[in-house]
Structure 1
């Protein structure tokens, strides 16, 4: 199914869902490195049925996991729906029942108040569990080999983030939740910690300056940073038939900073001008300051204004935010790092929360203010060198994911994997690059006979 662009752009082209669940042996050209053994798991929205909401949003489709399994130079592929309670209810009914983001105005009364989780945004491995994540519900466990749905991990007791951070030194998974509380689209937030064994050892609630879509956050060795930016949530607005989430720049931008071992009452709110960040690359601390490298938009893309009118086109660029913990000012200092539009920044996760040297991201070499990226970029912060591998023919790339050559290899020594949509053939490939030489092109390509729809995030798990 390729959808109908007249109905909704998020149901057309490579945004459109694929509804078959398949197991495929892939044709490989080049040579998959012998040391690359494991799976790249990717996840994205894939509506099971035509959405009932004419304003269906990309972020609101049912989750589908795509597993690329590599070993001994061979590649196989498997995809499965995340069978959430919402998926099961709609599957039994044979039609869509829930509105976008659970909007009660566009939800079938028969399922009002039922779990509307879609588990479609990120997929992570922690403490022996493969978990599909989204922003409004607890993690949903999947079997790593079969991709069978296991169910919610009940220990999280409610909303969690799609973007936890795993501390490479302690093995802890640090996370947050937003929209926490009895009322949907509230300003309530949570801060949580899961220890290296998978036990949730902390969950504390606090109030943000206003209700915001807090897609991601930053963690350093000793601190957490909660960005509350003016992509606002409003139940009252939604009940009037206006957007549940909308751009309200007059509210400004805030980042709450707290020590990881402190009480949430100690959060200090820093501020900057109106902007939006979906994803940071990394954050770290030194000499009484916190640093965060983030993909910053002048305004949130993909969402309308509060009156329902379309938002302006906007693209992200990598900038560095500095927070002076010893200073009297709560202003965030900002400096540009790169002049290329991009998204989905990643790093060698063994250096997450610490000072680092290497980063990768999906890029738009045309600087065309689009969410569609046609290149993969590597930045070496020590030398200032940027390498770019550009796709041609309208091909577009997913998030690039780094895998170290060995557990103790130097930072950035390894491979980058990315799923690419081949526009002219309307199918997808898995590409493997030498991580510090992406410009020379892939060392291996695993070819799919069909496409993988545009999704969000992925992570590598070594076997």
Structure 2
């Protein structure tokens, strides 16, 4: 590896890529419950070639990791998402695209070519396994073989990585940002897809300013679009400055509309400058909407507009309240927890509805990094918090809930997570009783190598 690669923290340790595509039967210790049947899919950035010069963690080629569970046994399979970018670089045998699509650092061979990486989220909808990222079509893969099938064009354009699936109707709601002829623009889209995968609607609108609108919120009847001051600028990128940067003077806005309405009805609420990568869940009660979110005071992982280093930051769980009947457009902020964390999750059967149970990856050290050394469970009814802390520098992925049965109560089931064992430089799939995580895993499937740090995962009942 060249000097740039050695010093880039997102190409070292367990951020470093694993370039082999493997199939393993995993050794199980403890007990993987026989009622746990299906697959945990995880995804993350895994550049197939060493990047030259600038590299951002969000820009690596997507790799899907599948843990297939049946009868107390676990099989593992991983495959690259063979996007057009991956194929072009594979053909030429080297890295071609600039970080985050930066045209100033893109090889002439790649100019005008598709640069999607499909590395941020992976989920099942309408019988398809979809790999998603910030700014391209969803990419379809075979759920059992992880064979790449190509872009799903039914969405009629780009879709960001955080769609929401209504647990009652099966409808998928989604959005996109940077929509329009010019990249890094303030154009956005909002869309709905039927349970069978057909497009119901897609509408375009303009945000207050161009930004990285990483995720959004959905209730039973409303959709909410956070426009937060991690700004996007093509002009800045063409000057050699960061395409995405923290500009708190822009303020923070959230657009609210009914799910079935026209985008012209968007009402913009405001809050002090902050950043949210991931909401936990959202619901409505009468004229009020509640959104529990992991809120940062500043956006981590990104520089300031002048290119200088950004500040370290950690997220904590915060409740945003929107009063649709009130005269004020201010968002009411209420702290919910004092433990740093990320990747919050609920039982998928209560998404868009009021929840009782919440889980997230946590950092009890207060180090303000993306490394998470614990898993937390919050009972919103009792206020009780449980924490399972890892030892020896071990780190956890986003925890993913799996129901015990179709008619089980909310939170009755298992929690799954992929844990990197720092001392051994390899990973395990860990299974917990979801409402008693403090006692530790009830079953572990041991990997012979590591799974690099990634982003999101979801369970599928195959």
- TM-score, normalised by the number of residues in structure 1: 0.99
Q: Deviations over 1:226-264 (max 9, x none)?
A: 000000000000000000000000000000000011110
The question of whether the paired residues in 2 share the 8 Å contact of 1:359 and 1:378 is answered with yes
The question of whether the paired residues in 1 share the 8 Å contact of 2:280 and 2:344 is answered with yes
2:6 corresponds to 1:21: no
Give SS of 2:291's match: strand
Q: d(CA) in 2 for partners of 1:233 and 1:48?
A: 27
Deviation of residue 287 (structure 1)? Answer: 2.0
Q: d(CA) in 2 for partners of 1:180 and 1:313?
A: 30
Q: Deviations over 1:375-414 (max 9, x none)?
A: 0000110100000000000000000000000111100000
Q: d(CA) in 2 for partners of 1:137 and 1:5?
A: 26
The question of whether the paired residues in 2 share the 8 Å contact of 1:3 and 1:11 is answered with no
Question: Counterpart in 1 of 2:44?
Answer: 44
Question: Counterpart in 2 of 1:355?
Answer: 354
The question of whether the paired residues in 2 share the 8 Å contact of 1:2 and 1:12 is answered with no
Deviation of residue 184 (structure 1)? Answer: 0.2
2:303 corresponds to 1:312: no
Q: Which runs of 4+ in 1 moved over 2 A?
A: 1-7
Question: Counterpart in 1 of 2:215?
Answer: 216
Unaligned 5+ runs, structure 2 = none
Question: Counterpart in 1 of 2:59?
Answer: 60
The question of whether the paired residues in 2 share the 8 Å contact of 1:3 and 1:13 is answered with no
Q: How well do the aligned residues superpose, as a CA RMSD in angstroms?
A: 1.1
- TM-score, normalised by the number of residues in structure 2: 0.99
The question of whether the paired residues in 2 share the 8 Å contact of 1:295 and 1:319 is answered with yes
Q: How does 1:128-167 map to 2 (within 5 A)?
A: 128-167=127-166
Q: d(CA) in 1 for partners of 2:109 and 2:48?
A: 18
The question of whether the paired residues in 1 share the 8 Å contact of 2:126 and 2:196 is answered with yes
Question: Counterpart in 1 of 2:424?
Answer: 425
Q: Deviations over 1:146-184 (max 9, x none)?
A: 000001001112210100000011110000000000000
Q: d(CA) in 1 for partners of 2:6 and 2:331?
A: 43
Give SS of 1:331's match: coil
Q: How does 1:259-274 map to 2 (within 5 A)?
A: 259-274=258-273
Quick check: 362-371 or 242-251, which moved more? Answer: 362-371
Q: How many residues align?
A: 462
Q: d(CA) in 1 for partners of 2:348 and 2:37?
A: 17
Q: d(CA) in 1 for partners of 2:211 and 2:61?
A: 22
Structure 2 CA distance for partners of 1:3 and 1:170, relative to 1, 3 Å: farther
Deviation of residue 5 (structure 1)? Answer: 6.6
Q: d(CA) in 2 for partners of 1:126 and 1:453?
A: 25
Question: Counterpart in 1 of 2:201?
Answer: 202
Question: Counterpart in 2 of 1:69?
Answer: 68
Q: Deviations over 1:97-150 (max 9, x none)?
A: 111111110111122111000000000101101000001101000100100000
Q: d(CA) in 1 for partners of 2:30 and 2:109?
A: 53
The question of whether the paired residues in 2 share the 8 Å contact of 1:373 and 1:397 is answered with yes
Deviation of residue 55 (structure 1)? Answer: 2.2
Structure 2 CA distance for partners of 1:31 and 1:4, relative to 1, 3 Å: farther
Q: d(CA) in 2 for partners of 1:3 and 1:265?
A: 51
Unaligned 5+ runs, structure 1 = none
Question: Counterpart in 2 of 1:404?
Answer: 403
Q: d(CA) in 2 for partners of 1:404 and 1:346?
A: 13
Give SS of 2:7's match: coil
Give SS of 1:151's match: strand
Give SS of 1:135's match: coil
Question: Counterpart in 1 of 2:91?
Answer: 92
2:10 corresponds to 1:10: yes
Question: Counterpart in 2 of 1:191?
Answer: 190
The question of whether the paired residues in 2 share the 8 Å contact of 1:46 and 1:62 is answered with yes
